[in-house]
Amino acid sequence: MFRTFQARLFMGFVLATCLLAAVFLGLAFRQARVLNQQQVEGQLLTEARLAAPPFIAALRSAQAKQALAALADAAGRSTGDRVTVIGPDGRVLADSEVGPAGLSKLENHSRRPEVLAAAAAGWGSDARRSVSVNHDLLYVALALPLEPGAGPAFLRLAKPLSAVQDLLWSLKEALLAAAGLGLGLALLLSWLLARLVAAPLKGLAQAAGQMAAGDLELRLPLSSTEELKALQQSFAQMAASLREGFGKLEAERDLLGATFAGMREAVLALDGRGAITLLNPSAEALLGQPASALKGRHHLEALRNSDLIRLLERARESGQTASGEVLLSAPGRPEAVLSGQAAPLNGGGIVVVLTDITELKRLLKVRQEFTANVSHELKTPLTAILGFSETLLDGALKEPRQARSFTRKIQEQGKSLQALIADLLDLNKAETRGLGESLDPLEALAACREAAKRAASKARSRKSRVAIEAPKGLRALAGRAALAACLGNLLDNAVKYSPAGSLIRLSASAREGGWVRFEVADPGEAIPAEALPRLFERFYRVDASRSRDTGGTGLGLALVKHLAERMGGRAGVESRAGVGNRFWVDIPAA
């Protein structure tokens, strides 16, 4: 029987159908599983590396437990992944899906495959069922370097494998169904239908070749034979399922690409030869060159920055993530300080993430200077108070006149401290939220009169007077207390630093651009030109000894500046020898 052409064709058809279905099922199933798992693994590793810096900072700080829990929850919400932080000893420190109370019930993770791999190579992955959440998950763990000499902690991200498994099972069922239909069709064919079967089988073979080559847009002409038509439809359904699966993978790739393009951090990727293969728009802006001018060039030629090149070489030589600061300077552009993280990739490549921390560095410097200034300003009155107090305790209390003099000086220094603390509190309010009031239309003339009235007593004590010049009907959009504080500080300085018997002028006028200018002019000694740019800095004094003699804290003009800016305005000064000084505040007109 099997020596006949029809029997051989029949058996060949059956065997070919079985072989084709088995090969395609194996290739498609394996390729889809590998591609999807690699895609998810790469995505998790990228997310872990991008999220790593704040976790490293939290692990090195004293408030690690509270900070880690918040960071894990935030990272879990933003990525949709399960985020776990594992200590060097394998204890779980934070988990986005397990509350703080449940952490103690989790097993020690030091022997988990992904953690062992991360401890050895910087990162690792594993796919298995999670006992704590009862799901099949893909885990990716990234080693987080801590203090020198200490073992690393680990940041682990996990994503469910249910989508991958569902796709693979649907492919397997579709192919098994197609194979079954093919076998049934082969058994029903007769020798008379051999020529009719040959053409559709050839078409199916061609379609299988197209699918293996990646062309999933199948357009098969349906056979008149129901069995072959069913087989063709099964192939078409299988191609549609594959198109849908690969479409999801492409959508995830596009989402990752959009995230990459929208990142504020600059990201560069280098291949094993050191050539730049990838960079995002933030990197183009930071480096001042378009991607077309950088891609394909060796990093030594393209970057020309010794700090960045050293960072890349450290990551390449150590095979682990390297971090450090990068000073970026270019002609015509302000100098920038960057925080760099360089991590090695498979194949010898490197990815580096650069974050601009110039403003953070500036703020840290301002904080240090502020702390030093406050300490210095507090030290002087405190030293005097302690000195007079010790003198009184050593016997000066028995001399009433001397004791009274020392007590008065203690009181004066205490008032100086009180004024300094009050100014510090006012300045803090101005810098953070103003004085907590709304902006309303205020009559400029009424504000000037009120400020002059408050300064009248101090002016009379120096036989000086305040003259007001302001038109009726002029209104500014300002906070009542903030504007009063600005004018009060300016008038107080004018009276304090002008000769006795001076005429202080307080004026308000409309300016171009929709501004109302409040100006205090005094005939005092001109301020040196080199001191004018720093006059509104905290604790800056042109003559420190004279300021302390007059009771100044060095914060009044800084308060004026911040209050003016909180009201949407600005402050400034002009000074001319022989003429005097003019301090002004511009407030938006109502």
Closest CA to 487 of 512, 462, 505: 505
Residues found in the chain: 590
Q: Is residue 565 part of a domain?
A: yes
61 vs 437 pLDDT, higher one? 61
pLDDT over 90 percentage in the chain: 17
The band of 516, judged by pLDDT with boundaries at 50, 70 and 90, is very high
Closest CA to 464 of 522, 403, 408, 510: 522
Write down the mean pLDDT value for the chain.
Answer: 78
Q: What is the pTM (predicted TM-score) of this model? A: 0.38
Is the pLDDT at 546 greater than 60? The verdict is no
Distance CA 482, CA 292 (A): 52
Are both 137 and 225 inside the same structural domain? Answer: no
Check residue 290 and give its pLDDT: 80
Given 389, 413, 433, the domain boundary residue is 433
Check residue 435 and give its pLDDT: 53
Check residue 587 and give its pLDDT: 94
Is the pLDDT at 570 greater than 60? The verdict is yes
Q: Is residue 477 part of a domain?
A: yes
The domain total for the chain is: 5
Check residue 239 and give its pLDDT: 74
570-576 and 580-588 strand pairing: antiparallel
Check residue 6 and give its pLDDT: 47
Is the pLDDT at 246 greater than 80? The verdict is no
Is the pLDDT at 345 greater than 70? The verdict is yes
Is the pLDDT at 362 greater than 80? The verdict is no
Q: What is the CATH number of the domain that holds 570?
A: 3.30.565.10
Q: Is residue 376 part of a domain?
A: yes
CB 136, CB 160: distance < 8 Å: yes
Given 356, 381, 403, the domain boundary residue is 356
Are both 254 and 290 inside the same structural domain? Answer: no
Is the pLDDT at 5 greater than 50? The verdict is no
Cα angle at 26 between 22 and 30, to 5 degrees? 170
Check residue 585 and give its pLDDT: 94
Q: Is residue 322 part of a domain?
A: yes
Distance CA 93, CA 86 (A): 6
Are both 441 and 478 inside the same structural domain? Answer: yes
The band of 198, judged by pLDDT with boundaries at 50, 70 and 90, is low
For residue 535, the SS3 value is: coil
Are both 460 and 332 inside the same structural domain? Answer: no
For residue 523, the SS3 value is: coil
Is the pLDDT at 317 greater than 60? The verdict is yes
pLDDT tens per residue, range 97-150: 888 888 888 889 889 999 999 989 999 999 888 776 677 888 999 999 988 777
For residue 189, the SS3 value is: coil
Is the pLDDT at 555 greater than 50? The verdict is yes
Q: Supply 377's token pair.
A: 């300003």
**498 backbone dihedrals φ, ψ, rounded to 5°:** -95, 155
pLDDT tens per residue, range 390-444: 887 877 777 888 788 878 878 877 776 776 676 666 656 655 555 557 889 999 9
Across 472-476, 529-533, 553-557, 558-562, the highest mean pLDDT is recorded for 472-476
Closest CA to 479 of 536, 430, 432: 430
Are both 406 and 473 inside the same structural domain? Answer: no
Q: Is residue 37 part of a domain?
A: no
Check residue 16 and give its pLDDT: 64
475-478 and 515-522 strand pairing: unpaired
Query: What is residue 363's DSSP assignment?
Result: H
CB 171, CB 32: distance < 8 Å: yes
Q: Is residue 34 part of a domain?
A: no
Is the pLDDT at 288 greater than 50? The verdict is yes
Q: Is residue 545 part of a domain?
A: yes
Domain extent at residue 239: 5-28+165-258
Q: Is residue 36 part of a domain?
A: no
Are both 369 and 440 inside the same structural domain? Answer: no
Q: What is the CATH number of the domain that holds 100?
A: 3.30.450.20
Is the pLDDT at 384 greater than 90? The verdict is no
Which residue bears the tokens 């191609």?
Answer: 239
What integer is the mean pLDDT of 225-245? 73
Closest CA to 85 of 57, 121, 127, 126: 57
Is the pLDDT at 62 greater than 70? The verdict is no
Are both 391 and 310 inside the same structural domain? Answer: no
Given 433, 462, 491, the domain boundary residue is 433
- Measured on CA atoms in the order 307, 313, 318, 319, is the torsion positive or negative? positive
Are both 192 and 110 inside the same structural domain? Answer: no
Are both 571 and 442 inside the same structural domain? Answer: yes
Are both 367 and 486 inside the same structural domain? Answer: no
Are both 96 and 141 inside the same structural domain? Answer: yes
Are both 298 and 272 inside the same structural domain? Answer: yes
The band of 170, judged by pLDDT with boundaries at 50, 70 and 90, is low
Check residue 503 and give its pLDDT: 92
